């Protein structure tokens, strides 16, 4: 058996295209969604990520507001900026790029964001709304994972799902999203007993533990859908001394020989995160104005 490759890059491009069409439709009503991204410090990876977010925001027709602050910015100054963005009617979504400098309490900053503009889905109110099933803005990476799963398995009701990882950013919201699809969900982690056996029961396996190639091929149920959230840099001697390569949390070649469908790393979940950020900004813009939210998750 050879698994179908779930092309997250292609799905994300299609999603951005549908978002751009919806944004163009809103323009006729005098509405232009706006996304504000705040970066504190000079972390190179964060700088690249923020630049990509700004470029893709503009490409979909939205307004992009970048706030690049020095690493010396105080927590009080950052909270003041968040407060101004909360009050700015042209801003529909606010994203504070993590990690923040150590002298800033990240949780306090995230909780200061207006939940209606929390397009990262990290505010406790949005997390609580997801848990109770009453709607709200959903964390982008798990939302992207769900869209990729449904691209190959539209009906998830009754399937066994295992989420490997229990973080607030991916694992916990991923479990809630799968529960909402009527899956039977197990959340596994580093202290789970007989982890390979737990994973072998999964029709859907989402790996988000941050450990390179931890999930082996013999952990996979034949025909399962495997979503690999991991992004890990490991040595790549074949490319030369000191060179690295990016691998996921799943041993891809081994798993692909058993699974029914699998996301690659890179090119799987990663591209979906920014696309879902733009999706959430579109949703926030519509909800704030009492407008219907366009259906953009899947091609018609």
Query: Both 262 and 281 in a single domain?
Result: no
The answer to whether 67 touches 37, Cβ cutoff 8 Å, is yes
For residue 74, the enclosing domain spans 28-121+272-288
Same domain (yes/no): 79, 170: no
Sheet holding 93-96, edge to edge: 63-69, 34-40, 93-96
Let me know if residue 210 belongs to a domain.
yes
pLDDT at 122 over 70: yes
* Total structural domains within the chain: 2
Tell me the pLDDT band of 201, cut-offs 50, 70 and 90: very high
CATH code assigned at 246: 3.40.50.720
Query: Mean pLDDT, to the nearest integer, of 210-219?
Result: 96
Lowest-pLDDT choice from 62-71, 147-156, 211-220, 237-246: 237-246
**Predicted structure pTM score:** 0.94
Q: Catalytic site residues?
A: 53, 97, 120
Contacts of 172 (CB under 8 A, 6+ apart): 127, 166, 187
Q: What tokens were used for 55?
A: 């470029």
Q: Are both 284 and 235 inside the same structural domain?
A: no
Q: What is the CATH number of the domain that holds 97?
A: 3.40.50.10860
Alpha helices in the chain, H assignment, sequence order:
8-27, 44-59, 75-87, 106-112, 124-132, 140-152, 171-180, 195-200, 252-256, 270-288
Instruction: Give the separation between CA 228 and CA 158, rounded to whole angstroms.
Output: 22
Among 275, 288, 215, smallest CA distance to 17 is for 275
Q: Is the pLDDT of residue 300 over 60?
A: no
pLDDT in tens, 224-268: 999 999 999 898 888 888 889 999 999 999 999 999 999 999 999
Q: Residue 20: inside a domain, yes or no?
A: no
Beta carbons of 2 and 265 less than 8 angstroms apart: no
Inside any domain, residue 297 = no
Q: Is residue 126 part of a domain?
A: no
> Could you tell me if 146 and 265 lie in one domain?
yes
DSSP H or E run through 96: strand 93-96
Please tell me whether residues 66 and 93 are part of one structural domain: yes
Give the pLDDT of residue 239: 80
Give yes or no for a contact between 126 and 176, defined as CB atoms under 8 angstroms apart: no
Q: Given the structure tokens 């390569």, which residue do they identify?
A: 245
Single out the residue of 232, 230, 242, 123 nearest to residue 170, CA to CA. 230
pLDDT level of residue 44 (50, 70, 90 thresholds): confident
């Amino acid at each position: 058996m050879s698994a179908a490759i779930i092309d997250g890059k292609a799905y994300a491009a299609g999603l951005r295209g549908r978002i751009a069409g919806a944004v163009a439709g809103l323009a006729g009503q005098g509405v232009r969604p706006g996304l504000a991204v705040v970066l504190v410090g000079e972390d190179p990876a964060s700088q690249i990520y923020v630049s990509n977010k700004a470029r893709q925001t503009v490409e979909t027709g939205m307004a992009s507001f970048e706030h690049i602050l020095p690493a010396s910015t105080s927590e009080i100054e950052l909270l003041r900026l968040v407060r101004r963005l909360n009050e700015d009617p042209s801003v529909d979504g606010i994203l504070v790029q993590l990690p923040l400098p150590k002298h800033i309490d990240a949780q306090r900053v995230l909780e200061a964001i207006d939940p209606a503009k929390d397009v990262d889905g990290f505010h406790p109110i949005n997390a609580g709304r997801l848990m109770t099933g009453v709607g709200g803005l959903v964390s982008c990476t798990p939302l992207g994972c769900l869209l990729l799963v449904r691209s190959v398995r539209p009906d998830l009701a009754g399937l066994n799902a295992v989420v490997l990882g229990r973080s607030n950013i991916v694992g916990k919201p991923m479990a809630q999203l799968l529960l909402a699809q009527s899956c039977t969900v197990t959340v596994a982690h580093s202290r789970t007993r007989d982890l390979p056996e737990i994973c072998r029961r999964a029709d859907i396996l989402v790996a988000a533990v941050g450990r390179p190639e931890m999930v082996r091929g013999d952990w996979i149920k034949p025909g399962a859908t495997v979503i690999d959230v991991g992004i890990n840099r490991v040595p790549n001697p074949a490319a030369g001394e000191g060179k690295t390569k990016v691998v996921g949390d799943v041993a891809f070649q081994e798993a692909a020989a058993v699974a029914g469908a699998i996301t690659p790393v890179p090119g799987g979940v990663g591209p979906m995160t920014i696309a879902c950020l733009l999706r959430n900004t579109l949703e926030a813009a519509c909800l704030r104005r009492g407008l219907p939210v366009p259906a953009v998750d899947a091609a018609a």
